[in-house]
Amino acid sequence: MTARVDPAVAEAVADAHRREWAYVLAATVRVTRDLDLAEECVQDAYTRALVTWTAGSPPANPGAWLTTVARRRALDLARRRATARRALPLLVEDAIVAPPAAPGEAGIPDDRLRLVFTCCHPALGADARVALTLRMMCGLSTAEVARAFLVTEATMAARITRAKKKIIAARIPYREPPPEELPERVSAVLDVVHLLFSTGHAPPAGDRLVRADLVSSALDLATMLRDLLPGHAEVTGLLALVLLTDARREARLREGRLVLLADQDRTLWDRRAITTGTALVREALRGGRPGRFTLMAAIAAVHDEAPTYADTDWREIVALYDLLARVWPSPVVALNRAVALGFALGPSEGLAALDVLAADPRLAGYGYLPAARADLLARTGDTGAARLAYQEALLLTENTVERAFLADRLAALSP
Amino acid sequence: MSEYLILIYADETAPVTTEDQQQVHKGHMEFGQNNGPSLRGGNALHGTETATSIRPDGSGGFSVTDGAFAETKEALGGYYLVEADDLDGAIALAKQVPMPNGGVEVRPIRVIDFS
């Protein structure tokens, strides 16, 4: 772009990008019935905003402004390309008589749920769902999505293209699922957001301990879903989980090193996030039999509410893990439960619970298992065995910051 | 409306009793009765021990061999050709197909315009 853009305008446009991208795109897809064309038009609208908006007086409703511009561009392009595009297949919308989406502020239908259910359709591969969600719901470029998942841009572009091709060829509909399918489909969407959050909160590889970009995308999505699906306890639970876990971000790192919950400076925790998150957990728990994310959030809330580590209510945490293991039986949940047991009842009880898990083939190669063992062994005074377990954990951990943490723990063992 | 092929795969080596067979037979009858308007065709296949595979031999002729094209644990045992609004509709139909010892695969029919 040659024109100089006022920094205040650039900021207003960036803000609208973060807040309104999904809304504008979803409303434009309704007109184009073609994801690629809609993306192109929305991108154009944001570029137009940069040169059209004036400092101090951006449009009163940026989302409506951008949608109007994007849709006009879409109609324009559609006319110009009419002959070339006529033969191309379009997205499938509702079967003939479906009620239109409820109009938003400016009378533009809020189609974000259609968009997110299309991106997270179970017929798409797990990788593709995450990539499409970041692209379509968060407005990330292919290069940014590629960086988020540590793959090349070409690989990511191919993945996104393949997914879009399947949406068209197999006719994955641009539609909110019927009520009887809703729980299953909502859960598929939540899995995508949770995966994004965990990848950002504890990157499995690389040299950073937190990927703030992914965490903030996950938080934006969780907040958006809570607005769109207010009656779903697990949606509320997931937003609470993200808030309550991320509230400790500032305290988790000191000089590039991981700080254990036990050693964190709790004054650095984000109190506002904790207050909001805790209220959301309470609300989610009122929604009947609590689901996976609600229980995980409840566990995070127990930690967040303890004034000091010594004050942690470990028995409550063990009880919550027991409930979690029932709705979400996973070896990782069992591992965390064993660690909590080690605090509630003592390290030898924790070790006994871990020994049961050691035989689980799904935990073979999982670095947190020997790390947890090492910690419990050190607390029983068995330094030799603890040393071996830390060494094993080091062999299995690829994140640089976590490796430094384990090396510190190993060095701190008395000789 | 689009057409989809529902391919039914099953482990041929799994033990099947006469009762099992009757159950599956009944299941297909019900599937047909419940979904008549969506059905465009369908058949059961004889087992892979009756299959013959033909490939170009690379020098202008063909190699004809005994057996299925791909050796997999679950073999193609039958299919339905169905019509549905979209993939969700096709998946809803597919879930009603009896699938003992295996599962089904849904593939959209490609419409080729020869004009």
Half-sphere exposure of A290 (CA within 13 A, CB side): 24
Listed by start position, the domains of chain B span 2-108
Closest CB to A170: pick one of B85, B87, B113. Answer: B87
Q: What is the CATH number of the domain that holds A160?
A: 1.10.10
Rounded to the nearest angstrom, the minimum Cα separation between B108 and chain A is: 5
Q: Which residues of chain B have pLDDT under 70?
A: none
Task: Indicate whether A185 and A253 sit together in one domain.
Answer: yes
Residue of chain B nearest A172, judged by CA positions: B87
Chain B residues close to A173, C-beta within 8 Å: 85-88
User: Which band of pLDDT confidence, cut at 50, 70 and 90, is reported for residue A397?
Assistant: confident
At A99 the pLDDT is 47
Residue A248 covered by a domain:
yes
Q: Are B2 and A171 an interchain contact pair (Cβ–Cβ within 8 Å)?
A: yes
User: Which band of pLDDT confidence, cut at 50, 70 and 90, is reported for residue A105?
Assistant: low
Q: What is the ipTM of this complex?
A: 0.83
Residue A98 covered by a domain:
no
Half-sphere exposure of A29 (CA within 13 A, CB side): 28
Residue A28 covered by a domain:
yes
Mean pLDDT along residues A55-84? 85
- Decide if pLDDT at A162 tops 60: yes
For domain B2-108, the question of CATH label 3.30.70.1060 is answered with: yes
- Please compute Rg for chain A using Cα positions: 24
Task: Indicate whether A334 and A280 sit together in one domain.
Answer: no
Residue A32 covered by a domain:
yes
Give helix A292-305 / helix A271-285 axis angle, nearest 10°: 140
Percent of chain B exceeding pLDDT 90 equals 78
Percent of chain A exceeding pLDDT 90 equals 62
At A93 the pLDDT is 66
Residue A103 covered by a domain:
no
For the segment A122-156, what is each residue's pLDDT rounded down to a tens digit?
Answer: 999 989 999 999 999 999 999 989 988 788 999 99
At A62 the pLDDT is 92
- Decide if pLDDT at A40 tops 70: yes
- Decide if pLDDT at A367 tops 90: no
Last residue of a domain, one of A156, A176, A196: A176
Residue A159 tokens read as 């993945």
Phi, psi angle pair for B84, to nearest 5°: -150, 160
Mean pLDDT along residues A294-307? 97
Instruction: Give the bridge partners for A333, in sequence order.
Output: none
A123 in contact with chain B, both atoms CB, cutoff 8 A? yes
Q: Which residues between 70 and 109 in chain B have a beta carbon less than 8 angstroms from any beta carbon of chain A?
A: 85-88, 91, 106, 108
Last residue of a domain, one of A128, A144, A176: A176
SS3 readout for A154-199: HHHHHHHHHHHHHHHHCCCCCCCCCHHHHHHHHHHHHHHHHHHHHH
Q: Are A173 and B113 an interchain contact pair (Cβ–Cβ within 8 Å)?
A: no
The total number of structural domains in chain A stands at: 4
Residue A104 covered by a domain:
no
- Decide if pLDDT at A189 tops 90: yes
Give the residue numbers spanning the domain of A67: 7-88
Cα separation of A115 and A173, whole Å? 10
Rounded to the nearest angstrom, the minimum Cα separation between A172 and chain B is: 5
For the segment A244-273, what is each residue's pLDDT rounded down to a tens digit?
Answer: 999 999 999 888 778 889 899 999 999 999
Closest CB to A173: pick one of B87, B110, B113. Answer: B87
Give the DSSP letter string of A336-365.
HHHHHHHHHT-HHHHHHHHHHHHT-GGGTT
**Of the candidate ranges A279-283, A344-348, A373-377, A397-401, the one whose mean pLDDT is the lowest:** A397-401
At A84 the pLDDT is 59
Q: Using an 8 Å Cβ cutoff, are A12 and A26 in contact?
A: no
A310 in contact with chain B, both atoms CB, cutoff 8 A? no
Q: Using an 8 Å Cβ cutoff, are A113 and A94 in contact?
A: no
Which single residue is written with the structure tokens 């489909």? A185
Task: Indicate whether A190 and A162 sit together in one domain.
Answer: no
